[in-house]
Chain A
Amino acid sequence: MNALSQIGTADWFPLFNSLRIAALASVIVFFLGIGCARLVARLPKAVKGLLDVILTLPMVLPPTVCGYFLLMVVGIRRPLGALLDQAGIRFVMTWYGGVLAAVIVSFPLMYRTARGAFEAFDETLAYSGQTLGLSDIYIFWRIRMPACRQGILAGFVLAFARALGEYGATSMLVGYTPGKTATISTTVYQLYRTGDDAGALRWVLVNLAISAVVLLAVNLLEVKQKKAVVR
């Protein structure tokens, strides 16, 4: 019960940091995933297969391996990392490095579910929109996206949840600095490792609460959509 009594006085930075990383990463992944899904769905089969493998790779690789690759690219002693560093952008040991890690790791979830939804879309709807004279932008946002919204929404939620729980790549790239890069998952590990079991439990409970809220929101959305269809 010690865990609960401390809540009022606790340092809430890891919660704030986790939420901002997950929110920013999932918004980026939302557009990036949809864009790539749209692109790949239109490509010829041979190119499609290859690109699909590359884009899905972060999903099957251990997150620490993703983190390793990220360090190889944006580490400050690497060409790109050095270049970015001169421009004042540093991904190593910063909170937006956490965003980068979360984007890479959660991207395949958004991309794959969105691609599945786009491939199931009845293309005659787009054709009939074209013959009526509707613009491509209108057809995409008002016809294609609404028809695919279930898959896209599911992808978004999965990506958000994955970004929120990201640990491996994040710990490789940005480590654990209290008040700077600490997220819920790195905090849980750090507190447990240093023997602060009560502190670790506190963050476990916070994480459980967030996950419950996310799942509840998804279920509510699904119920609402079913009603919209029945009505």
Chain B
Amino acid sequence: MSLSVDIEKRLGDFHLRARFECEAGVTGLLGPSGCGKSMTLKCIAGIERPDRGRIVLDDRVLFDSEGHVDLKPRERRVGYLFQNYALFPNMTVAQNIRCGLCRERDEARRKGALDEALALFGLRELARHKPHQLSGGQQQRVALARALVNRPALLLLDEPFSALDAHLRLRLQIEMLDALRSYGRPALLVTHARNEAYRMCERIAVMQEGFALPPEDTKQLFANPGTVAAAMLTGCKNITPAERAGERQLYAPEWGVTLETALPVPEDVTHVGIRAHYFGQKVAQNRFPVDFVGDMEEPFEWVLEFRYAGQKPDSQPLWWRIPKEKHPQRMPEALGVAPVNVLPLRRGDNGR
């Protein structure tokens, strides 16, 4: 039960290079818009054709440029949940789901599977409705039901929550996780939202400018992103160039500080990252004098902007995020950060 992808495709200036494997469970492709995530999905589904490479699902070769294998989308058994759900507008909910059962030859079994899916996805009342009469969340459920009754060997999810209101999103993410768990096959979810990736995915492959890094365990990736691209995509706000100053020591010239790390500093370190949540007034390690230069109030947090006393004047200030109730009466004169929260980073393999 695994998918192995190793493809390349050029489109004008854009160069897609994706190489990764996924197992059962949800794997995320996390990247900014235009980085090639959707193109990767389309290549796996057979809608787009890679210039070269190989795609293998379980033991079936779906695409192999050298062996001249290029299965048609309908032969791949790869389910695709499109961003706009792609429900057939002229058909009812029941007819749409029935399209997912087109491989089932036996009419009685087809009927049974349809009823089962309608019940499972809470669509019985809506069976005779047309897609345009449904809410965004209902449309998504129909699309997911239609894709899953097809029993695909792999499910591709293209930004499935981006068209939904924020309050619906969380509810539907929980629903979809349930559905995907009982489906039990690998799923590949494309998203640009790190919270969504964190909630939904067991592993995440970070993607930037057409280049996909190998998937990593989600918690591990957020705790130690390793690359500048991964740090930015997982929401690390304070990133600056850095040099190795010792086995567990980094010098950040722009900030004018030498930071202790808990992780060993790799030889090829290029940057250091510190998440905005992890500064503390009372933390003794990596403690340096700071000057506050600005603040911004958010619903439940404060974002405080500061500079290190020795920081270069033309460099970006740093961000410190604290819950409202912890906002200090008097601004502290120095801030510390625990070594475990100082992240040594390198450029990705594509030079970023």
Contact = CB atoms under 8 A, between A and B. Distances in A.
Contact of A131 (B74, B84, B88, B130): B74
Contact of A133 (B45, B82, B86, B150): B150
Nearest to B143: A128
B82 A134 contact: no
Nearest to B158: A124
Given A133-B103, A134-B99, A134-B102, A127 B80 contact: yes
Contacts of A127: 42, 45, 47, 73, 80, 82, 86
A124 B82 contact: yes
Contact of A128 (B76, B80, B103, B130): B80
A132 interface: yes
B87 to A, nearest CB: 8
A146 B130 CA distance: 14
B146 interface: yes
B195 interface: no
B78 A131 contact: yes
Given A131-B80, A132-B146, A146 B74 contact: no
Given A122-B86, A125-B88, A229-B132, A130 B73 contact: yes
Interface string B143-157: 000110010100000
B182 interface: no
Q: Which of B45, B74, B147 has the most CB of A within 10 A?
A: B74
A30 to B, nearest CB: 19
B76 A131 contact: yes
A72 interface: no
Interface string B38-64: 000010011100000000000000000
Q: Is the interface of A mostly helix, strand, loop or mixed?
A: helix
Nearest to B81: A128
Contacts of A32: none
B112 interface: no
Nearest to A149: B90
Contacts of A147: 88-90
Nearest to A124: B86
Interface residues on B, range: 20 to 34
Contacts of A76: none
Nearest to A136: B74
B79 interface: yes
Q: Which of A127, A128, A129, A138 has the most CB of B within 10 A?
A: A128
A229 B131 CA distance: 10
Nearest to B101: A132
A82 interface: no
A130 B90 contact: no
Given A127-B80, A127-B82, A128-B82, A133 B90 contact: no
A189 to B, nearest CB: 45
B47 A130 contact: yes
B72 interface: yes
Interface in A101-152: 122, 124-125, 127-135, 138, 142-143, 146-147
Given A133-B74, A133-B150, A128 B86 contact: yes
B72 A130 contact: yes
A109 B80 CA distance: 37
B273 interface: no
B215 interface: no
A168 B239 CA distance: 76
Contacts of A122: 84, 86
A3 to B, nearest CB: 47
A231 B99 CA distance: 22
A133 B78 CA distance: 10
Nearest to B79: A131
Nearest to A134: B102
A132 B82 contact: no
B100 interface: yes
B128 to A, nearest CB: 10
Interface in B63-97: 72-74, 76-80, 82, 84, 86, 88-90
Contacts of B88: 125, 129, 142-143, 147
A146 B95 CA distance: 14
Q: Which of A127, A132, A135, A229 has the most CB of B within 10 A?
A: A132
A143 B131 CA distance: 14
Contacts of B130: 231
A147 B87 CA distance: 11
Nearest to B45: A131
A129 B87 CA distance: 9
Q: Which of A124, A131, A138 has the most CB of B within 10 A?
A: A131
Given A122-B84, A143-B90, 9 more contacts: A124-B82, A124-B86, A125-B88, A127-B47, A127-B80, A129-B99, A131-B46, A131-B74, A131-B80
User: Would you list the 5 A-B pairs with minimal beta carbon distance, nearest first?
Assistant: A128-B86, A146-B90, A130-B73, A124-B86, A131-B80
11 contacts: A122-B84, A124-B82, A125-B89, A127-B42, A127-B73, A127-B80, A130-B73, A131-B78, A131-B80, A131-B150, A131-B152
